[in-house]
């Protein structure tokens, strides 16, 4: 493999800076991908351009990528279903009673309660980050809109309650993936090491705590404070020049007239998606389990062996089918109406699917360039044991920020940080925690993270506005984390 050195980090940095500066995320990603392949084509303009086009095609060679893109498109059909059936309206009517109850107790209290409900919903769905972000954004967006809470705040809550809870409560595909990586590094008890590392995984813990503190204290800062002020003073849920990840055709789709607004027409399809996620995880991993001691042990082990991308795709498909049966049995929709809604929903989510395609393409380009390996190897020769946890956290953060994938960061960095910890005699649980936390932190800051993209989509927020408003909170937690790792690094070595 060719060593591109410092050039390997230029494309993701260019894409991210351009995206944050211009808010043209599609163009920025395409330019970053094009620069990657231009570098790998020895600066040959024609070869680099053709290689870029082939890179877009090659995204679909990965079954996981294809499933995720399909999931992103099918979400549009599910959103239109629950909107058109008046399910969202029925659910909002139920929540309005709760809002009135708390508002009568104390003015403004209902805003706090609803935001906390959204947060705890996201944490409760720790089994899968995409399902968590999607459910929180979909369920609470109409209520947030009614209470004049900016879309950026909903995206922040959806994003910050998903990945951090999935890594802190690792009884899911995340935990299985990480344990597999630990096994490949010769760790005898990967589950024990993973559980032990949780107490040192400061960033996800701080990210979750910060959401609660911000909600309860009502003390926003940075761009989020400006967003809150804008919505409070003007009623505008988004900035003037913002471009929501979902069009008004989906978020404000006109419900069918002449039918009652029932909350269960939204709750049943969404609950089906949430419940079927672990079911499909177990199903897809069932045959990979060979040494189970009981049915329950087989089920739990299969959860870790299952395919996350297959499970989210199967779960959203199942929820659409359940929705069709539910609405048809009530006489709410004819078959032709439902098919038209599915096609309409998919077409409205094409921009999201395109963004996922570009995010995967730049991730593949960074892998081909060796971006993560370059950053990781750069630190090998000058690190001391005292600084190891803090530096590992920072490097993991940068890799996740550049590539938009926490899982890819775990795969790269655990293969490097564990041997380094053994070489320097550092505490292994501390170094593993720093590696995992850095992946989550970088993922939170990155505009090409799939979790951030889905959070923006489900919340109908402008994606770059979501990244900008979340960034100060993430950096605040990241700085405290680095300080804690420095203190423990010196205390434990």
Distance CA 181, CA 185 (A): 7
How high is the pLDDT of residue 209? 96
Low-confidence residues of the chain: pLDDT under 50: none
How high is the pLDDT of residue 143? 83
Residue 462, beta-bridge partner list:
244
Which pLDDT tens digit goes with each residue over 306-329?
Answer: 776 787 788 889 989 998 999 888
How high is the pLDDT of residue 46? 92
Q: Which residue has the tokens 């395609």?
A: 357
Helix (H, G, I), strand (E, B) or coil at 462: strand
The overall pTM is greater than 0.75: no
Which pLDDT tens digit goes with each residue over 250-306?
Answer: 555 677 777 888 888 888 887 888 788 788 888 888 888 877 778 888 887 787 677
| DSSP for 164-207, written as a single string | HHHHHS--SHHHHHHHHHHHHTT-S-HHHHHHHHGGG-HHHHHH
Distance CA 404, CA 174 (A): 16
How high is the pLDDT of residue 76? 77
* Residues 346/69, Cβ–Cβ less than 8 Å: no
Helix (H, G, I), strand (E, B) or coil at 244: strand
How high is the pLDDT of residue 184? 64
How high is the pLDDT of residue 108? 64
How high is the pLDDT of residue 249? 57
């Amino acid at each position: 493999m060719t060593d591109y050195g410092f050039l390997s980090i230029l494309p993701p940095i260019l894409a991210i800076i351009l995206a944050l500066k211009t808010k043209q995320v599609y163009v920025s990603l395409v330019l970053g991908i094009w620069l990657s392949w231009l570098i790998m084509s020895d600066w040959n303009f024609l070869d680099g351009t053709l290689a870029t086009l082939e890179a877009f095609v090659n995204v679909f060679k990965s079954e996981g990528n294809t499933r995720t893109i399909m999931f992103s498109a099918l979400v549009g059909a599910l959103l239109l279903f629950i909107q058109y059936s008046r399910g969202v309206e029925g659910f909002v009517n139920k929540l309005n009673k709760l809002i009135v109850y708390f508002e009568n107790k104390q003015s403004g209290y209902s805003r706090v309660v609803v935001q906390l409900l959204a947060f705890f919903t996201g944490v409760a769905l720790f089994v899968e980050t995409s399902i968590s972000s999607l459910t929180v954004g979909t369920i609470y967006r109409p209520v947030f809109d009614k209470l004049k809470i900016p879309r950026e705040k909903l995206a922040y809550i959806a994003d910050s309650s998903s990945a951090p809870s999935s890594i802190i409560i690792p009884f899911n595909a995340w935990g299985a993936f990480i344990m597999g990586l630990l096994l490949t590094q010769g760790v005898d008890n990967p589950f024990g090491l993973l559980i032990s590392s949780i107490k040192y995984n400061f960033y996800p813990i701080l990210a979750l705590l910060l959401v609660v503190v911000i909600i309860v204290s009502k003390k926003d800062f940075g761009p989020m404070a400006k967003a809150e002020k804008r919505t409070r003073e003007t009623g505008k849920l988004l900035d003037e020049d913002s471009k929501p990840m979902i069009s008004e055709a989906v978020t404000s789709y006109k419900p069918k007239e002449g039918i009652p607004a029932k909350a269960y027409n939204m709750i049943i399809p969404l609950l089906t998606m949430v419940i079927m996620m672990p079911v499909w995880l177990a199903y897809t991993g069932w045959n990979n389990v060979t040494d189970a001691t009981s049915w329950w042990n087989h089920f739990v082990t299969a959860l870790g062996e299952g395919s996350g991308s297959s499970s989210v795709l199967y779960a959203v498909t199942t929820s659409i089918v359940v929705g069709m049966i539910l609405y048809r049995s009530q006489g709410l929709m004819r078959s032709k109406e439902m098919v038209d809604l599915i096609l309409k929903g998919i077409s409205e989510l094409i921009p999201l699917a395109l963004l996922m395609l570009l995010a995967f393409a730049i991730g593949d380009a960074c892998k081909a360039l060796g971006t993560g390996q370059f950053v990781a190897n750069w630190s090998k020769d000058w690190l001391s044991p005292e600084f190891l946890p803090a530096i590992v956290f920072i490097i993991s953060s940068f890799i996740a920020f550049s590539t938009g994938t926490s899982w890819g960061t775990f795969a790269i960095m655990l293969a490097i940080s564990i041997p380094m910890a053994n070489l320097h005699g550092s505490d292994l649980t501390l170094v593993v925690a720093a590696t995992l936390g850095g992946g989550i932190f970088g993922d939170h800051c990155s505009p090409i993270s799939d979790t951030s993209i889905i959070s923006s989509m489900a919340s109908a927020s402008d994606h770059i506005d979501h990244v900008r408003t979340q960034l100060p909170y993430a950096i605040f937690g990241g700085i405290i984390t680095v300080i804690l790792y420095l203190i423990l690094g010196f205390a434990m070595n």
